[in-house]
Amino acid sequence: MKTDLYTKIILTIIAIALTVNLFKASITPAMAESKKYVTLPVNPDGSINVNINKTTSPMEVKLTDVDRNAFFIYQQYR
């Protein structure tokens, strides 16, 4: 008997929560993010061709300073 009462209470709470969620979604519209993404062509070896314009001084590039997590997605699908 206690199990039946417990089940009814839990199902009632779930039903109320779903109903509130339904009305909440209809009142406040979903907003899309304004981020824009660009696809880049990738060379067969995984590198990307880069052309830097409007530079007045030489740029020093140290690959030891690159965060290891920057290449996580590339390694994941490789």
Contacts of 48 (CB under 8 A, 6+ apart): 40, 41, 42
78 compared with 25, residue with greater pLDDT = 25
Q: Distance between CA atoms of 33 and 42, rounded to whole angstroms? A: 26
28 near 21, Cβ under 8 Å? no
Q: Distance between CA atoms of 57 and 10, rounded to whole angstroms? A: 68
The reported pLDDT for the residue numbered 8 is 93
Hey, what long-range contacts does 15-21 have (CB within 8 A, 24 or more apart)? none
61 compared with 17, residue with greater pLDDT = 17
33 compared with 11, residue with greater pLDDT = 11
pLDDT tens digits, 26-49: 776 667 777 777 777 888 887 788
- Alpha carbon 74 to its chain's center: 16
Q: Please provide the average confidence, as pLDDT, over all residues in the chain.
A: 76
